[in-house]
Every structure is written in C-alpha cells, then in structure tokens.
Amino acid sequence: MNIDIIPCLNDNYSYLIHDEQSNTVVIVDPSEFAPCDKIISKKYKKLNYILNTHHHHDHVGGNAELKKKYNAQIFGFESDDKRIPGIDKLLKDNQEFKVGKLNFITIFIPGHTIGHVAYYLKKEQVVFSGDTLFSMGCGRVFEGTYEQMLNSLKKLKNLPENTKVYCGHEYTHDNLKFCLKFNPNNNALKKKREIIEAKIKHGKPTLPSTIGDEIQMNIFLRYDDPDVKEALNLKKASDLEIFTKLRDLKDNF
C-alpha cells in the first residue's frame, strides 16, 4: 500500500491510497479537485473510491468533479447522507468494508460534527482521523458535545500505539506551542519541537504521527496528567472538566 499526502487549500491534507495488490485507488477527504486530480491523473489515471470523514466543505470540495471524471464511488457515515455531495454508500459505526484488498473499519467519532468518522486499517496500522485527532491537537467542537469529543478521542487513544495517524490539517506547529504552554515539563515535547521545526523549514508535512506519540505529547490525550492539571489549577477536576478547559483555551489561543 502506498499513501500520497496531497496539500490542499491553505492547510488541508487529502490522502491518496494505492492498493498495489488490486491496483485500487482511493482518496480520503478530497478538499479540492485540481491538486487531487493532478496527482491521480499523473500516477494512476483512475480513482475507484472516495472516503469522507465528515461533511465540511474543506473535506468534500473535490467530491463532485472527481466522481464525474472517474466515476468513483463515495463513502461516508449514514447520518451524513444529506450532507456529503454525491454519497453512494452509507456506513455504520464499526462497519468493516473492503476496498480492493484493503480492509477498512469505520470508527464513529462525533464531536467536531455529529457524523464524523475515522477510517482504520488494522493490518496496515493506519488511521485517517479527519478533524477529530490532530498531531498534538484535536478539532473544535462544532456540532457535538465536549463529552462526545472526549469519548471519540479516547476511542482513538485505545488503538495500538504504532498506528500511524493521518489527520486533516497541518496544524502541528501551533498545536505544539499550545501543548508546551500547559504541559511545560514534558521532555518528549521539547525534543519533538526540533523535528517539527526542521520539517516545516524544508516544506515537508509533519505527518503522519503515531498514536504512541500522541499519547506522549498531545495535551488533549493527557487530561489525567498531574502536570497539566497543575498548569490549569484544576488538580481535582474530572477528565471531562480538564478537556473542556483545554478546548476552550485552545479556541482562543
């Protein structure tokens, strides 16, 4: 399996997956037609499937034109059937489905939107997390509740630690600054800063991350860390209270 990272819009990423065994081509969250089509037409000249994590335009903006040009099938969560352009197949939570030789599992992770899903490849140890889990961050809570978002992050946190995380945006550097502010004694974060800054300097994506790295460094997965609680002056607060406070602070960071 090969994954191409396609920069789109200002800071979005779309992901082009080629299953070499079956010569099946899949794209996750095509933000816009032109940059996605450029690499599809250059490398493969075909597109079989489009997988959408949620309905926001910066994740589905290329759907219609790609479907028209390549006759690709569009997959998305069942509750987004009226909101994802051109959707063909409605998926349920924890549904396994096959694309070529790749076995995907749908993970329902509401919070950012009420119909948000991740796509997990267990054998290949890869998850496409959309706008729920970012590298060292998480998405804003637009349609769901803070509790839903926290529970969704816990689902992803429970995946095997070597799982590679491909998320929807290049937010890593700003997220790193926020994590360091409220988790200042985290040595892993300090070491990671040099790696991230070098990648950005050379114009390279900071992704993929891994679940293990996120557990170590992503403050939104470290709601039970005494260092974080002390920084927030909320030593006896619940996981949900800590997460809510962090999300509100990040919204204004």
Helix, coil or strand: residue 75: strand
Name the token pair of 215.
Answer: 């557990």
Q: Is 57 a catalytic residue?
A: no
Q: What is the pLDDT of residue 198?
A: 95
- Chain-centroid distance of CA 137 in Å reads 10
Q: What is the pLDDT of residue 156?
A: 98
Q: Is 55 a catalytic residue?
A: no
* CA nearest to 227, candidates 161, 180, 173: 180
Q: Is 59 a catalytic residue?
A: yes
DSSP 78: G
Q: What is the pLDDT of residue 145?
A: 98
Q: What is the pLDDT of residue 61?
A: 98
Strands 164-167 and 209-210: antiparallel
Q: Is 173 a catalytic residue?
A: no
Q: What is the pLDDT of residue 100?
A: 96
Q: Is 202 a catalytic residue?
A: no
- From residue 90, alpha-carbon distances to 73, 83, 148 in Å are 11, 12, 21
Annotated catalytic residue within 18, 55, 112, 116: 112
Q: What is the pLDDT of residue 162?
A: 98
Q: What is the pLDDT of residue 32?
A: 98
Q: What is the pLDDT of residue 149?
A: 98
Q: Is 112 a catalytic residue?
A: yes
CB within 8 A of 12, min separation 6: which ones?
A: 29, 31, 58, 59, 168, 169, 170
CA angle 189, 141, 181 (to 5 degrees): 25
Q: What is the pLDDT of residue 194?
A: 92
Q: List the chain pLDDT tens, one digit each, 253 residues.
A: 999 999 999 999 999 999 999 999 999 999 999 999 999 999 999 999 999 999 999 999 999 999 999 999 999 999 999 999 999 999 999 999 999 999 999 999 999 999 999 999 999 999 999 999 999 999 999 999 999 999 999 999 999 999 999 999 999 999 999 999 999 999 999 999 999 999 999 999 999 999 999 999 999 999 999 999 999 999 999 999 999 999 999 999 9
Torsions phi, psi for 232 (to 5 deg)? -90, -5
Annotated catalytic residue within 56, 80, 116, 213: 56
Crossing angle between the packed helical segments 33-43 and 63-70, to the nearest 10 degrees: 30
Torsions phi, psi for 86 (to 5 deg)? 75, 15
3-state secondary structure 22-54: CCEEEEECCCCHHHHHHHHHHHCCCCCEEECCC
Annotated catalytic residue within 18, 55, 59, 116: 59
Count CB neighbours of 96 within 10 A.
11
Q: What is the pLDDT of residue 158?
A: 98
Name the token pair of 129.
Answer: 């997390």
Helix, coil or strand: residue 24: strand
H-helix or E-strand spanning residue 247? helix 239-251
